[in-house]
Amino acid sequence: MSALSLNKFLTSTAGVGLMTLATVITSGEAARAVSFGTSSDGPGKSLQEQLNAITVGGPHIDTVNGQTGYQLFTNTATGSSIGSLMFEIAGFAPTNKFGIYNQNGDKALLFDGVNDSGDRTVVDFLGDGSVSVSTKGLLPHYKGPTVDRNYANFGNVFGYYLERGDGTTFYTENSRNQGSYQQAVVYQGNNQTTLKLAGRQPGIFTDNEFIIAFEDIFQDGRLDHGFITDSDFNDLVVMVESVKPVPEPATLAGLGLVAGALGLKGRRKASKTC
Ligand SMILES: [Ca+2]
Ligand SMILES: [Ca+2]
Ligand SMILES: [Ca+2]
């Protein structure tokens, strides 16, 4: 929602409406942020340190306070979205897969286990409801051929998933995860930070771009393949672009803050003009 349409929406919303909105926000579960653990991958490998290491200009991304809570997305006007595999710091990296899933739980694979840092994918959201995926392995790592895949009846509202070699799948939508635990953190570009991704020229992290960072061990604390989660969320990290978050409680929380601020402003203005 643009600032203008937000303003329109707010000015056309009665006080009762705002109160209802506030109630929705405070009762929402969205504002929860992930607490990071100590990465079992060793020093310098935390998500924060890894993002700092590729930041070549502007402010660092704040992995704690920068979490958006976005869980679902849709396409933008191009109808295509590029994804770039940033890094995988996990024992399961050779077999972990990454893709998008729709509301039926149907999956479209974007990066297979063999894909590695620097590889890219393009997803086309087609008018007949299908999606076409083209994934290319790039130097200096994976040099395999471009792989094309098509998925019928997929639609264009989706989340991102990580699927392990054993079939265990984690989703950006917490409600789809065991115990509704959060298995991914999502950051939106700030139009200020310059990042240099593996094998790429540096560029500004724009607000059309998102970083999706997964934890590949169950977050409910169980013993999982001999591991207890380290909550480092650096296990598979991808940047995607030309996607737009679908409104949900998490985005309403942000809207609520703005609504509250504008509501306050409105009242101040009213008392001045009265
Ligand atoms: Ca890790
Ligand atoms: Ca891999
Ligand atoms: Ca981990």
109 CA to centre of ligand 2 in angstroms: 13
Quickly tell me which residue has 């094309």 as its tokens.
148
105 CA to centre of ligand 2 in angstroms: 22
d(CA 122, CA 84) in angstroms, rounded, equals 9
The pLDDT of residue 219 is above 70:
yes
Residues 96 and 214 in one domain: yes
Residues 117 and 180 in one domain: yes
The pLDDT of residue 272 is above 80:
no
Residues 90 and 207 in one domain: yes
pLDDT in tens, 21-56: 433 333 334 456 899 999 999 999 999 999 999 999
pLDDT at 15: 41
Residues 146 and 15 in one domain: no
Residues 76 and 205 in one domain: yes
196 CA to centre of ligand 2 in angstroms: 20
Residues 242 and 254 in one domain: no
Nearest bound ligand to the CA of residue 214? 3
Query: Model-level pTM greater than 0.85?
Result: no
Nearest bound ligand to the CA of residue 234? 1
Residues 121 and 187 in one domain: yes
DSSP string, 193-247: -EE--TTS--EE--TTEEEEEE--S-TT---BTTB-------SEEEEEESEEEPP
d(CA 250, CA 192) in angstroms, rounded, equals 23
Nearest bound ligand to the CA of residue 162? 2
By residue range, what is the domain housing residue 15?
1-30+248-274
The pLDDT of residue 195 is above 80:
yes
Q: Into how many domains does the chain fold? A: 2
Nearest bound ligand to the CA of residue 46? 1
Least confident of 138-147, 185-194, 245-254: 245-254
Residues 208 and 273 in one domain: no
Nearest bound ligand to the CA of residue 41? 1
Cα-based angle 154, 159, 164 (whole degrees, multiple of 5): 100
Q: For residue 77, which of 189, 225, 244, 207 has the smallest C-alpha distance?
A: 244
